[in-house]
């Protein structure tokens, strides 16, 4: 019995040992599989790195720069020589729009009661056109009376002439003395004079009646109206209408004393009313004869053709061009700005970046004018200046500006 139990114990011991050996060998196999996978990945990465790495340059082929940096690390940069170009000097100014020739229209005659107003603001009128009419009933009767006086005076003159003619025929026969003939001649001349006086009085009355109407002194645009039908007007009534002769407008621009240099009669200008994006071409037609001693400014008058968008009394800005200068012109991308001001980078000696301080001027369609800092023959970095630094080596590629 004891022997049988001993055999069983030996069999259990051998079974447990076999199971332990099997688990150990399985874990070892898995370890080797993991290590083999990791090794394979490392080999693949090393191979990819070798294939993607650029080929090293052979000795003596210029593979490094003067400073020792590899050529493939030197940036390629576009540069250009701006030269010198003609640039119109531009002066900015502001002012008020107005009629170039403002014509106030008032009462020219004795006035009276307004019977009709025939025009409205914004309407074009011809020279001599009636703007408003005034009652003339009394003046018409006066003219009729004078016209009748002329008829009476002409009749008297005709009788006087007839009597003189008859007397002239009888004086040769001795029936009438020469003294009587001379008296009849004087009567005739007096009657003719009375005719002329009556005619002059009638013409004066008719002229006065014509002046009762309010008429346009010249062709132009009606700007304002301050009279209504039924209103009593006289020579003291002031301005009834305001007109712009020919519809011509102007900008009365205030310009600083120092900016007047270079502006001349005929200088072109662009006028932009405030609140509108449209600009209108103008021309300087008058320079200020005096300078305001308080503001140190003068009024430059810029003529502008009529446009409905130009309203007298409105505010506008102007760009006045005059006094052309020659300056280098650069694209805006070439100009850098920091706390010290505006500057550019240029390709200097040995193609190393140099910083150059500049002063900018007029902005044109071609670019920005440089008034100080450049002679025009430098190789200026046109773009990518923000990624460069002074002393850095570059490969400049010359571009035409």
Please tell me the predicted confidence (pLDDT) of residue 225: 94
Q: How much of the chain, in percent, has pLDDT values that exceed 90?
A: 39
- Does CATH number 2.40.110.10 belong to domain 246-322? no
pLDDT band at residue 206 using 50, 70 and 90 as cut-offs: confident
Q: Strand, helix or coil at 116?
A: strand
pLDDT band at residue 326 using 50, 70 and 90 as cut-offs: confident
The whole-number average pLDDT for the span 261-284 is 89
Q: Domain residues of the chain, as ranges?
A: 1-56, 71-87+326-398, 108-215, 246-322
The whole-number average pLDDT for the span 221-237 is 92
Tokens of residue 125, six digits? 């009128």
Beta strands, E only, 187-324: 214-215, 220-225, 232-233, 241-245, 249-256, 268-273, 280-286, 297-304, 315-321
In DSSP notation, 142-188 reads HHHHHHHHHHHHHHHHHHHHHHHHHHHHHGGGTSS-HHHHHHHHHHH
65 CB-side CA count, 13 A = 15
Answer yes or no: is pLDDT of 214 > 80: yes
pLDDT (tens digit, 9 = 90+) per residue, 85-115?
877 778 889 999 999 999 999 998 788 899 9
pLDDT band at residue 171 using 50, 70 and 90 as cut-offs: confident
Angle between helices 137-170 and 178-210 (to 10 degrees): 160
Q: What angle do CA 200, 201, 205 make, to 5 degrees?
A: 115
DSSP character at residue 110: S
Answer yes or no: is pLDDT of 60 > 60: no
The whole-number average pLDDT for the span 334-347 is 92
Cα 392 from Cα 355, distance rounded (Å): 11
55-69, 92-106, 203-217: lowest mean pLDDT where?
55-69
pLDDT band at residue 13 using 50, 70 and 90 as cut-offs: very low
Cα 160 from Cα 264, distance rounded (Å): 72
Answer yes or no: is pLDDT of 301 > 90: yes
Look at the domain 71-87+326-398 and name its fold: 2.40.420
């Amino acid at each position: 019995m004891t022997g049988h139990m001993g055999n069983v114990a030996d069999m259990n011991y051998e079974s447990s040992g076999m199971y332990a050996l099997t688990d150990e060998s399985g874990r070892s196999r898995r370890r080797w599989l993991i290590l083999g996978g990791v090794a394979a990945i490392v080999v693949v990465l090393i191979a990819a790195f070798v294939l993607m790495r650029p080929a090293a340059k052979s000795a003596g082929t210029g593979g490094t720069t003067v400073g020792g940096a590899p050529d493939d690390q030197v940036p390629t940069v576009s540069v250009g020589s701006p030269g010198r170009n003609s640039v119109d000097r531009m002066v900015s100014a502001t002012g008020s729009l107005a009629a170039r020739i403002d014509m106030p229209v008032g009462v020219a005659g004795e006035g009276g009661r307004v019977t009709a107003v025939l025009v409205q603001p914004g309407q074009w009128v011809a020279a001599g056109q009636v703007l408003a009419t005034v009652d003339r009933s009394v003046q018409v009767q006066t003219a009729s009376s004078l016209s009748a006086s002329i008829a009476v005076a002409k009749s008297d003159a005709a009788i006087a002439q007839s009597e003189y003619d008859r007397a002239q025929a009888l004086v040769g026969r001795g029936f009438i003395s020469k003294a009587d003939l001379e008296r009849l001649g004087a009567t005739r001349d007096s009657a003719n004079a009375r005719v002329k006086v009556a005619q002059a009085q009638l013409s004066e009355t008719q002229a006065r009646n014509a002046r009762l109407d309010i008429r346009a002194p010249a062709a132009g645009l009606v700007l304002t109206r301050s009279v209504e039908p039924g209103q009593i007007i006289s020579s003291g009534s002031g301005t009834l209408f305001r007109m712009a002769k020919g519809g011509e407008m102007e900008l009365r621009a205030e310009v600083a004393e120092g900016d007047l240099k270079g502006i001349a009669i005929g200088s072109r200008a662009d006028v932009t009313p405030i609140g509108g994006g449209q600009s209108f071409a103008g021309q300087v037609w008058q320079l200020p004869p005096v300078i305001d001693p308080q503001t140190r400014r003068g009024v430059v008058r810029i003529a502008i053709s009529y446009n409905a968008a130009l309203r007298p009394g409105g505010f506008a800005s102007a760009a006045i061009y005059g006094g052309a200068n020659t300056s280098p012109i650069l694209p805006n991308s070439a100009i850098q700005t920091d706390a010290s001001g505006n500057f550019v980078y240029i390709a200097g000696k040995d193609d190393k970046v140099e910083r150059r301080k500049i002063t900018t001027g007029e902005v044109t369609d071609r670019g920005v004018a440089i008034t100080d800092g450049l002679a025009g023959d430098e190789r200026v970095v046109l773009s990518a200046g923000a990624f460069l630094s002074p002393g850095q080596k570059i490969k400049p590629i010359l571009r035409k500006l």
